[in-house]
Amino acid sequence: MQIAIVILAILIVGAIAGSALNFAGVFLGIPIVFIFIGLIIGKEASERQRKVRQMKRFRNDSKTKKIDFSDADKRTMV
At residue 44, what is the residue type? E
Instruction: Over range 2-20, report the average pLDDT.
Output: 77
- From 48, 34, 10, select the one nearest 2 (Cα to Cα): 10
Task: Dump pLDDT digits (tens) for 13-65.
Answer: 877 777 777 766 656 667 777 888 888 889 999 999 999 999 999 998 888 77
Separation between Cα atoms, residue 22 and residue 20, nearest integer Å: 5
Which is more confident, 3 or 27?
3
10: confidence class by pLDDT, cuts 50, 70, 90: confident
Confidence (pLDDT) at 78: 61
Give the count of domains, the chain.
Answer: 1
DSSP string, 1-61: -HHHHHHHHHHHHHHHHHHHHHHHHHHHHHHHHHHHHHHHHHHHHHHHHHHHHHHHHHHHH
Q: Quote the pTM value.
A: 0.51
**Is residue 75 situated within a structural domain?**
no
Q: Which domain holds residue 32?
A: 2-55
